[in-house]
Structure 1
């Protein structure tokens, strides 16, 4: 049955966003140029399970999801989110990486598996974006020094977690007393990455989310000190997308990693 698109919601990263009706129920559509991004996002949402938005359909030029009526978050919803996020992470992954192509916003990134998380994070997340970011040579050298420290500062070794991968507050929708995740860059990664992303630009009731998470799945000692490590990649992405405005935040995180 064709979708009756009833409302244009604007654009984001070159995609058209729309609301429509399909068989009497509201749906959300994201459409653009032909790209593996749409099927990759659908795979990630399905893999994340009940915590993520429901995929209605995906095609090479678009993605259709259930429509989510949003509401103001509550303390109870935040606590539930913390527990559900922990349980999702604990579902695990086969490797650090994923069997689908990676994207963050509209930027491609490799999900080819690596032997351990420091190697994956360096080779698949940080260094490729350093090359795209057009940073000064001195900044690049400092980032490369930080990358060399990844094996020593990433904390106790953990098995791959099932993570969202781009979990800033805008990708958490509050509906029906719970959180629903959208726009994933899902892969087998380090669970501290999702928590560091929540902290990067702020999230409602973050302390409640983290407290509930730790009750469900305690984190290794020193995780708070490692937050800047996990924020290097999203800050590099923001430099690539938006330029010099994010350079100081990035280099501040680099300095904190070098001080670990």
Structure 2
């Protein structure tokens, strides 16, 4: 299977139906289908992910905030530390949800994450309850990894989807 990173990511118009509909349609479902086809997610797991995507698409997580310019692939390997601070590399920048990069950092771990979150909070950019929405924003990277890196990510995607369904 061709690596997910070598294919263009979907980037349809987020205004068509709101953020949640765009996120489900363009960022999660295409990779879910690839994960199932590759045998990395079961049909039962996919059904729960699809239900979580339906919850996104119905607008319940839309907060009315405008899209933010986000890195789009922010994991610890794309954060390089220098004597004067951090440098971000290898962006997949797009207009997305401001909580997405934070959820990605939390998913794969990052040295100094709590300090970074504190600085982010100091800017006033975090909306109350953002930590509870981390699984929502992890659906996309988990779907990408489930499509190309195996069933362990299919299991993690399923866990995140079930967390979204409990929200």
TM-score strictly above 0.5:
yes
1:106 to 1:179, Cα distance in 2 relative to 1, 3 A:
same
Q: Establish whether residue 189 from structure 1 lines up as the match of residue 67 from structure 2.
A: no
Q: Establish whether residue 119 from structure 1 lines up as the match of residue 21 from structure 2.
A: yes
**Counterpart contact for 1:126–1:236, Cα < 8 Å:** yes
Secondary structure, counterpart of 1:252 in structure 2: helix
Aligned-pair CA distance for 1:179: 1.0
> How far apart, in 2, do the equivalents of 1:164 and 1:218 lie?
15
1:242 aligns with 149
1:138 to 1:119, Cα distance in 2 relative to 1, 3 A:
same
1:130 to 1:141, Cα distance in 2 relative to 1, 3 A:
same
Which is strand-richer, 1 or 2?
Answer: 1
> How far apart, in 1, do the equivalents of 2:60 and 2:137 lie?
11
**Counterpart contact for 1:153–1:226, Cα < 8 Å:** no
2:119 aligns with 212
Q: CA RMSD in A?
A: 1.7
1:231 aligns with 138
1:132 aligns with 34
Instruction: Give the structure-2-normalised TM-score.
Output: 0.88
**Counterpart contact for 2:20–2:61, Cα < 8 Å:** yes
Q: Establish whether residue 142 from structure 1 lines up as the match of residue 48 from structure 2.
A: yes
The structure that has the greater radius of gyration is: 1
> How far apart, in 2, do the equivalents of 1:153 and 1:178 lie?
37
> How far apart, in 1, do the equivalents of 2:161 and 2:123 lie?
30
**Counterpart contact for 1:156–1:220, Cα < 8 Å:** no
> How far apart, in 2, do the equivalents of 1:124 and 1:221 lie?
26
- Runs of 4+ aligned residues of structure 1 deviating over 6 Å after TM superposition are none
> How far apart, in 2, do the equivalents of 1:224 and 1:192 lie?
9
Unaligned 5+ runs, structure 2: none
Aligned-pair CA distance for 1:176: 3.1
Q: Which residue among 100, 105, 124 is the counterpart of 2:5?
A: 105
> How far apart, in 2, do the equivalents of 1:170 and 1:107 lie?
20
Unaligned 5+ runs, structure 1: 1-12, 15-103
Instruction: Give the structure-1-normalised TM-score.
Output: 0.58
Say which structure, 1 or 2, has more relative contact order (CA 8 Å, 6+ apart).
2
CA deviation profile, 1:22-68 (whole Å, cap 9, x unmatched)? xxxxxxxxxxxxxxxxxxxxxxxxxxxxxxxxxxxxxxxxxxxxxxx
Aligned-pair CA distance for 1:117: 1.3
> How far apart, in 2, do the equivalents of 1:221 and 1:156 lie?
11
Which is helix-richer, 1 or 2?
Answer: 2
